[in-house]
């Protein structure tokens, strides 16, 4: 009967001691991220069911992070000329842009940048969509969007000889906000608003609540744990005669 023997090789052992805890910790970190996304989605869904707040109350709120997905009631009109097209927006694998137009809320006396939804566009950018902008006074419902991370920044040449509609990478860009405030000759609310799905004056509106789903993080966790398990098995097989022991036991059983 073959007896189990260990043959520890220091380089492989050091490699395993360093990498194995890292892989396991990454797996648990992804599980934590999945839990955070579940809690965030629940909070966002609950917030979106609240009655819409007047725009004046939203403007007065200093903690912008608490405004994410808060429903807002608007009454006023769109700017007839200033249209922003947010680039690289995909729907079911099809290229398009989000259409954002400044909207003046009469109650708050405040301009806001209202995302009206997605329209298909030419992926080669040879031509830009020219979406219609309503001229009438409207009562609308929207929600506040707080973007994750830092915004892209317009290149200096994009601020020269601007034509409308203006194609941009990120509507949260401070340089874009300065351009709009110059054109409007008024202050612009610092956060984007997204038009509610059942409101008129909009286009396709099916924005995801989260930039990555809990299932995606769980999938990453499985990958990290699988790599950790593979490394552990490799270490055991390389550092022992386990294969020979198992083979000998199988032969004895036969």
End-to-end CA distance of the chain: 13
Is residue 132 classed as helix, strand or coil in its secondary structure? coil
Model confidence at 89: pLDDT above 70? yes
List pLDDT tens digits, range 201-215.
899 998 876 666 788
The answer to whether the CB of 221 falls within 8 A of the CB of 27 is yes
**Cα separation values, 204 from 82, 94, 175, 201, 219, Å:** 20, 13, 27, 11, 29
For Cα atoms 92, 94, 99, give the angle at the middle one, nearest 5 degrees.
105
Q: Is residue 97 part of a domain?
A: yes
Q: Which residue has the higher pLDDT, 19 or 49?
A: 19
**Residue 140: which domain range?**
70-195
Query: Would you state the pLDDT for residue 26?
Result: 94
Both 165 and 237 in a single domain? no
Confidence of residue 246 (pLDDT cuts 50, 70, 90): low
Q: How far apart are CA 20 and CA 228, in angstroms?
A: 6
What's 158's DSSP letter? G
Both 191 and 220 in a single domain? no
Is residue 104 classed as helix, strand or coil in its secondary structure? strand
Six-digit token string for 166: 């203006």
Q: Which residue has the higher pLDDT, 157 or 81?
A: 81
Both 28 and 133 in a single domain? no
Structural domains counted in the chain: 2
pTM for this structure? 0.71
Confidence of residue 96 (pLDDT cuts 50, 70, 90): very high
Confidence of residue 230 (pLDDT cuts 50, 70, 90): very high
List pLDDT tens digits, range 102-139.
999 999 999 999 999 999 999 988 999 989 999 999 99
Q: How far apart are CA 199 and CA 249, in angstroms?
A: 72
Both 121 and 175 in a single domain? yes
Both 75 and 33 in a single domain? no
């Amino acid at each position: 009967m073959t007896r189990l023997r260990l043959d520890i090789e220091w380089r492989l052992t050091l490699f395993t001691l360093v990498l194995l805890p890292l892989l396991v910790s990454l797996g648990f970190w992804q599980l934590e991220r999945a839990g955070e996304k579940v809690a965030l989605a629940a909070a966002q869904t609950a917030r979106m069911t609240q009655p819409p707040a007047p725009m004046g109350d939203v403007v007065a709120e200093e903690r912008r992070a608490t405004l994410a997905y808060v429903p807002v009631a608007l009454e006023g009109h769109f700017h007839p000329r200033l249209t922003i097209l947010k680039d690289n927006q995909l729907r079911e694998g099809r290229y398009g842009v989000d259409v954002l137009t400044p909207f003046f809320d009469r109650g708050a006396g405040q301009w806001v940048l209202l995302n009206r939804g997605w329209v298909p566009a030419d992926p080669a950018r040879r031509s830009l969509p020219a979406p219609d902008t309503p001229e009438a006074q409207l009562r609308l419902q929207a929600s506040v969007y707080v973007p994750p991370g830092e915004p892209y920044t317009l290149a200096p040449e994009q601020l020269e000889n601007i034509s409308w509609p203006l194609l941009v990478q990120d509507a949260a860009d401070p340089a874009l906000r300065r351009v709009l405030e110059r054109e409007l000759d008024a202050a612009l609310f610092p956060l984007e608003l997204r038009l509610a799905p059942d409101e008129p004056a909009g286009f396709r509106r099916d924005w995801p609540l989260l930039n990555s789903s809990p299932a995606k993080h769980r999938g990453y966790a499985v990958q990290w744990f699988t790599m950790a398990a593979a490394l552990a098995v490799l270490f055991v097989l390389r550092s022992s005669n386990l294969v020979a022991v198992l083979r000998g036991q199988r032969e004895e059983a036969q």
